[in-house]
Amino acid sequence: MMEANDNQSALAIEVRGLVKTFDEVEAVRGVDFEVESGEVFGFLGPNGAGKTTTINMLCTLVTPTAGWAKVAGDDVVRERDDVRRNIGLVFQDPTLDNYLTAVQNLRLHAELYGLQRDVVAPRMRQVLEMVGLWERKDSAVGTFSGGMRRRLEIARGMMHSPRVLFLDEPTIGLDPQTRRSIWSYIAELKEREEITIFMTTHYMDEAEWCDRIAIMDNGQIVALDAPDTLKAQVGTDRVMIQTEDDDAAIAALQARFGVGARMAEGAVTFGVPGGEEFVPRLFADLGVPIKAVNVSRPTLDDVFMSYTGTTIRDAEEDAGKNRNRMMMQMMHGGRR
């Protein structure tokens, strides 16, 4: 770990006013943030928020339109080669060669990075053991499950002992159990190596694993803090009740408690501070029989909603509709 007073080198990533415009699309609209050495830092946001574009700028694959960024102390434009030496990258889309074995894939990567021959074999064993694939090292990647492939990609990203590892949607499309196992490998990785991890996700529960997260929407960071701090800022708990007459319950909540409720997932749903203390009052004064109650602490989805007015899933559906509309326009020659 770095010394606390070693301020300069304690920053793994430093970003100021970073912008990326593709023709008419403003993918990233001026973001500022810092990531300290040893942190697990995440970008959470819906499809099209600009997460991959940001990662690609930090990894020197896309040139910023404006602003600057430093990774491990080097400028991503002026010191591109130094940045590349210091980082590992796991892309959103798989990039393994399915016809090669696990070991062959890693060896290819080691050659690309000019790793010294005598360090390749021990390092390969170390990273394959770390992700639980040592026993399968000589199998063709084409025979691997989705989770195994993802683990191998993470191992490959670690081969050259990067100081900063970038993971773009590390567990996208995997089942919950596999996602959890990938997360325990990442946690172990962090224990064993002095490394900073920058990842993107649109899974709420995944963001919970990060030390800090930036919530991104529409090319901008709308909130940035530790997950618990962000959730505490929401200030209300979520209460869901099953009643004998939901319409009457919603009206009574408004009339007697001044609380605006709506139907969600088949239950009367609302947010109040101190949900657990509120429930006894509800039973005493609602005037509508209650069949069941559920009180929960705010989730990151509640955080996202408090800043953007929609849930991440709704935002993704809207983005899908926009994409469809643009496709229709293009098909009908509407693109200028």
Ligand X SMILES: Nc1ncnc2c1ncn2[C@@H]1O[C@H](COP(=O)(O)OP(=O)(O)OP(=O)(O)O)[C@@H](O)[C@H]1O
Member of 41, 42, 44, 45 binding ligand X (CB under 6 A): 45
Member of 12, 15, 35, 53 binding ligand X (CB under 6 A): 53
Member of 31, 49, 106, 234 binding ligand X (CB under 6 A): 49
- Residue recorded with tokens 């993802």: 150
What distance in Å separates the CA atoms of residue 316 and residue 314, rounded to the nearest whole number?
5
The 83-102 contact track toward ligand X, x by CB under 6 A, reads ---------x----------
What distance in Å separates the CA atoms of residue 152 and residue 91, rounded to the nearest whole number?
12
The 36-65 contact track toward Mg ion, x by CB under 5 A, reads ---------------xx-------------
Q: How many helices (H) and strands (E) does the chain have?
A: 13, 14
Member of 13, 51, 160, 279 binding ligand X (CB under 6 A): 51
Residues 15-34 that bind Mg ion (CB under 5 A): none
Applying CB under 6 A, the span of 42-50, 101-109, 134-142, 152-160 interacting with ligand X comes to 42-50
Q: Using CB distances below 5 to 8 A depending on partner kind, what does residue 53 bind out of ligand X, Mg ion, none?
A: ligand X
User: Measured from the CB atom, is 48 or 298 closer to Mg ion?
Assistant: 48
Member of 15, 18, 27, 154 binding ligand X (CB under 6 A): 27
Best CA proximity match to 46, nearest among 262, 321, 265, 327:
321
DSSP string, 185-210: HHHHHHHHS--EEEEEES-HHHHTTS
Q: Using CB distances below 5 to 8 A depending on partner kind, what does residue 236 bind out of ligand X, Mg ion, none?
A: none
Amino acid at 277: E
Member of 33, 38, 47, 301 binding ligand X (CB under 6 A): 47
Using CB under 6 A, count the residues that bind ligand X.
13
Strands (DSSP E) contained in 151-195 are: 164-168
Q: Contact between 50 and ligand X (CB under 6 A)?
A: yes
What distance in Å separates the CA atoms of residue 63 and residue 57, rounded to the nearest whole number?
6
Strands (DSSP E) contained in 231-289 are: 237-243, 262-264, 267-272
- Residue recorded with tokens 């099953």: 242
User: CB of 50: closest distance to ligand X in angstroms?
Assistant: 4
What distance in Å separates the CA atoms of residue 94 and residue 171, rounded to the nearest whole number?
11
User: Measured from the CB atom, is 51 or 238 closer to ligand X?
Assistant: 51
From first CA to last CA, the distance across the chain in angstroms is 53
Residues that bind ligand X in the complex, under the rule CB under 6 A = 22, 25, 27, 45, 47-53, 92, 202
